[in-house]
Structure 1
Amino acid sequence: MLAVLLTALFMAALDVFIVNVAAPTIGSDLHASGADLQLVVAGYAITYSVLLITGARLGDRVGHGRVHLAGLALFTAASLACGLAQGSTELIVFRLVQGAGAALMIPQVLSLIQRTFTGEARARALGAYSAVLAVGAAAGQVVGGVLVSADLFGTGWRPVFLVNVPVGVFLLVLGRRVLPPGRGAEAERARDLDLPGLVLLGAAVSLLTVPLVLGQEEDWPLWSWLSLATAVVLFAVFCGYESRLARRGGAPLIALRVLRHPGIGLAVFRILAVMSVNAGFLFALTLHVQGGLGYSALRAGLSFAPTAVVFGAVSLTWRKWPAAWQRALTPAGFALTAVSAAVVGLAFRDGGDGGALLYVGYAGVGVGLALAFSPTLTGALATVRPEDAADASGLLATVVQLGQLIGVAAFGTLFLNRLESLGALRAYTSAEAFSVCAWALAGTAAVGAVSGLVLRRR
Structure 2
Amino acid sequence: MAQITIEAPVARAPVRLGRLLTIIMLGQFMAVLDVSVVNVAAPTIRTDLHASGAGLQLVIAGYTIAYAMLLITGARLGDLLGHRAMFQTGLTVFTAASLACGLAGSTGLLIGFRLVQGVGAALMVPQVMSLIQRNFAGAARARALSVYGAVLAGGAVVGQVVGGTLVSADLFGTGWRPVFLVNVPIGLVLLVAGARSLPGDRGERRSGLDLPGLVSLSAAVLLFVVPLVLGHEESWPLWGWLMLGGSVVVFGIFVFLQRRAASPLIPGRVAGAPGVRAGIVTIFLTMCTFGGFLFSLALHLQGALGYSPLRAGLFFIPGAAGFALSSLYWRRVPAAWHRPMIPVALLAAGLGYLGLAVFESGGVGLEVAMGVAGLGLGAAFSPLLAITLSHVAVRDAADASGLLVMTNQLGQVVGIATFGTLFLSLAPPTGHALTVTTMALAGAAALAACCAVPLLRPQRI
TM-score range, shorter chain: over 0.9
Q: Percent identity?
A: 57
Letter paired with 1:152: L
1:410 to 414, 418, 421: 418
State the match for 1:66 in structure 2: 85
State the match for 2:437 in structure 1: 437
Distance in 1 of aligned mates of 2:365 and 2:50: 38
State the match for 1:225 in structure 2: 241
Q: Does 1:322 align with 2:334?
A: yes
State the match for 2:355 in structure 1: 343
2:319–2:373: 8 Å Cα contact kept in structure 1?
A: yes
State the match for 1:297 in structure 2: 309
Residues 1:209 and 1:113: Cα distance change in structure 2 (over 3 Å)? same
Distance in 1 of aligned mates of 2:413 and 2:243: 17
Distance in 1 of aligned mates of 2:267 and 2:456: 20
State the match for 1:360 in structure 2: 368
Give the TM-score taking structure 1 as reference length: 0.93
Following superposition, the deviation at residue 30 of structure 1 comes to 2.5
State the match for 2:292 in structure 1: 280
Distance in 1 of aligned mates of 2:84 and 2:152: 20
Letter paired with 1:301: G
1:378 to 386, 389, 404: 386
State the match for 1:91 in structure 2: 110
Which range moves more in the overlay, 190-199 or 166-175?
190-199
Distance in 2 of aligned mates of 1:193 and 1:129: 27
Following superposition, the deviation at residue 138 of structure 1 comes to 4.3
2:43–2:302: 8 Å Cα contact kept in structure 1?
A: no
Residues 1:215 and 1:134: Cα distance change in structure 2 (over 3 Å)? farther
Following superposition, the deviation at residue 325 of structure 1 comes to 2.5
Q: Does 1:242 align with 2:237?
A: no
Following superposition, the deviation at residue 322 of structure 1 comes to 2.4
State the match for 2:12 in structure 1: none
1:395 to 395, 399, 403: 403
1:165 to 174, 184, 204: 184
Distance in 2 of aligned mates of 1:134 and 1:225: 35
Q: Does 1:257 align with 2:269?
A: yes
Residues 341-390 of structure 1, C-alpha deviations (whole Å, 9 max, x = no match): 11111112xxx32x322222111001000011111011111332110100
Distance in 2 of aligned mates of 1:122 and 1:152: 41
Letter paired with 2:245: A
Letter paired with 2:371: A
Which runs of 5 or more residues in structure 1 are unaligned?
none
State the match for 1:213 in structure 2: 229
Letter paired with 2:327: S
Q: Does 1:11 align with 2:14?
A: no
Distance in 2 of aligned mates of 1:105 and 1:18: 19
Distance in 2 of aligned mates of 1:172 and 1:147: 24
In structure 1, the residue corresponding to 2:38 is in which secondary structure? coil
Following superposition, the deviation at residue 456 of structure 1 comes to 5.2
Which runs of 5 or more residues in structure 2 are unaligned?
1-19
Letter paired with 1:276: C
Which range moves more in the overlay, 442-451 or 388-397?
442-451
Residues 1:443 and 1:35: Cα distance change in structure 2 (over 3 Å)? closer
Distance in 2 of aligned mates of 1:257 and 1:394: 14
Letter paired with 2:117: Q
Distance in 1 of aligned mates of 2:57 and 2:166: 20
Distance in 2 of aligned mates of 1:129 and 1:219: 41
Which range moves more in the overlay, 318-327 or 232-241?
318-327
State the match for 1:195 in structure 2: 211
State the match for 2:58 in structure 1: 39
Distance in 1 of aligned mates of 2:290 and 2:338: 22
State the match for 2:320 in structure 1: 308
Residues 6-58 of structure 1, C-alpha deviations (whole Å, 9 max, x = no match): 00101101112221221222233223333322221111011001100000000
Distance in 2 of aligned mates of 1:111 and 1:440: 35
